[in-house]
Amino acid sequence: MFVGTGSDVGKSIIATAFCRIFKQDGYHPAPFKAQNMALNSYATPEGLEIGRAQAVQAEAAGIDCHTDMNPILLKPSSDKVCQVVLNGKPYGNQDAYQYFKTDGREKFRGAVNDAFDRLAMRYNPIVMEGAGSISEINLRDTDLVNMPMAIHAGANVIIVADIDRGGVFASVYGSMMLLTEEERKYVKGILINKFRGDIRLFHSGIQMLENLCGVPVIGVVPYYKDIYIEEEDSVMLQAKNLQATEGKINIAVILLRHLSNFTDFNVLERDPRVHLFYTNNTEEIKKADILIIPGSKNTIADLYELRKNGVAQSIIQAKKDGASVIGICGGYQMMGQDVCDPQHIEGDIDRLPGLGLLPISTEIGGEKVTRQVKFTFQGENSDCQGYEIHMGVSKPLKDATCSAVNRLDDGTEDGCQVDPKCFGTYIHGILDNKPVIDYILSPYSDKLNNTTFDYQQFKENQYDKLADHIRKYVDMSLVYKIIAND
């Protein structure tokens, strides 16, 4: 189990690496994180919902993802409220105080323990991941994901620390000392992550940490820049490719406050024909050839913000000026005539006018749709796949002139299109499919060359590169010795 001295120390990436390493070494690994908080989720083959990080780790392990790998997913809908997804299905909305109170906590604890037990019967080893810091002692009684989970699993625990942020000695030693005596028995190693500079200068530091903490340092992993693994958090999106550039097709993803499933754009980010950037700057929107309105965990709140800050009008004007506009999931809903929320699922607003680019009306409500789908795009004989995670139904207006975008393999239709450069769809991952990419880029063929991009092979190569990187700087013989002495 990889636990952290804090958030964003690299636990997810390290766990992903070990999923691939164990697969390469002939084992049958699976990832596990009892509780995850993320807007970036994924649909399992059974049509249930888990955190995207565990789906990525499962892919690195070469297996299908399953809800047992992430039995509790928290999806923030505001600064204080999350939707709780339990075993892949919505359990309800709770604020932080409700969720972390001790009353009723054993139901969640039983659920995560049962999920781990089921998973451990099917795979070996289980690569577990903690959340945040292991030393949040004020939450010890209600913790589901860190040391109580390690104790239930009988896990060998590796503490991951980010040396790049500074204070690595204090963070590692402090984390160890704030554990109970029983918890410290499970800690078998320390991994220093995100090192910059000459590792030889830290050799004395390794010895000091081992002397202080009484456990070995299994490795010091340097910071890398040339390995690309899908990210879980959207916090850095605004820093990516801040403006349009000459000589490529410029694609602007509208930067929403509650943006979800931003991995929809990973293929486009890597496509050599494309320059993709995230923005809510009206001047940058004018420079884009293609605008994509992404998914949102709170469609009405984000639509309200777009109307208030002038982005909605700039999108409408860009369409008039010849840009393509594409909406995915919540973005698709925003492109319609209105979004209605009579049950106040997302807030207090009953109805909000949309962008008016598609002749549809959306009502938020009903059961949450979570499923993987196979489909054909634009009526072509093309085998495509993606997934749906949404609440609400979008229906064409009376006498609407539009056509469906996709035909699913069950015979149903998805999406709405008014012209070749303006459409919306509920399908996440639609932009992972080559026929779709080629279609949306084709109006700008004067900027294109014949370069193609195999994203699936790219991802496999990245997992292998990540595994090679970790093997180079981690003592794998020590890791296997720790496992064998369990």
Greatest CA span in the chain, whole angstroms?
A: 76
Whole-angstrom distance, CA of residue 472 vs CA of residue 212? 25
How many Cβ atoms sit within 10 Å of the Cβ of residue 124?
Answer: 12
Judged by DSSP in three states, 467 sits in: helix
Residue 7 and residue 36: Cα distance in Å, rounded?
12
Rounded Cα–Cα distance for residues 21 and 19 (Å): 6
Calculate ∠ Cα 424-425-427, nearest 5°. Answer: 155
Could you list the beta-strand ranges (E) of 53-208: 72-76, 81-86, 89-95, 126-128, 157-162, 187-195
Which residue reads 């938020």 in tokens?
364
Q: Which of 258, 275, 390, 428 is catalytic?
A: 428
Compute the radius of gyration of the chain from its Cα atoms: 23
Catalytic residue (choose from 329, 384, 402, 422): 329
| Cα distance between the two ends of the chain | 12
428 is catalytic: yes
Helix (H) or strand (E) holding 42: strand 41-43
Q: Which among 422, 299, 293 is positioned nearest to 361, based on CA atoms?
A: 299
Examine the residue annotation and report whether 416 is marked as an active-site residue of this protein. Answer: no
Bridge partner residues of 396 (DSSP): 360
Pairing of strands 187-195, 384-390: unpaired
Q: How far apart are CA 50 and CA 71, in angstroms?
A: 7
Residues with a catalytic annotation lie at 329, 428
